[in-house]
Amino acid sequence: MNTTVIDPVSGAEDFRGLRVRKASRRVSPIRRFRNFIELSDWDEAILRHGREIDIFCWMLAVGTAILLIPVSLLVMKG
């Protein structure tokens, strides 16, 4: 489904500088993401789940250390 859009041409001072075109009504992913950032409460959700996020980050750090310690020992051993 298309809709009619009127765009101003750069530097136009009167109605002769207007351009009429057809535009899709489908919202672009960038606009959807921008609306999500501006209109939703994503930052409050992060604050509500702060403890779970901290636990996940610590588990990720410990898991990485567990995997890298044997590798570093093998590298130092030669």
pLDDT (tens digit per residue) in 23-78: 666 778 888 888 888 888 989 999 999 999 999 999 999 999 999 999 999 999 97
1 and 36 inside one domain: yes
Which pLDDT does position 27 carry in this prediction? 73
The answer to whether 2 touches 24, Cβ cutoff 8 Å, is yes
Does one domain contain both 3 and 36? yes
Cα distance between residue 37 and residue 43, in whole Å: 9
Taking the model in full, what pTM does it have? 0.50
Is residue 35 domain-shared with residue 16, that is, in the same domain? yes
The verdict on 14 and 33 lying in the same domain is: yes
C-alpha 33/C-alpha 48 separation (Å) is: 21
Question: How many domains does the chain contain in total?
Answer: 2
Instruction: Give 7's pLDDT tier (boundaries 50, 70, 90).
Output: low
Contacts of 11 (CB under 8 A, 6+ apart): 17
Which residues form the domain of 67? Answer: 48-78
Same domain for 56 and 75, yes or no, is: yes
State whether 35 and 65 are in the same domain. no
pLDDT of residue 65: 96
Residues 1, 33: one domain? yes
Q: Token pair 């919202």 is at which residue?
A: 27
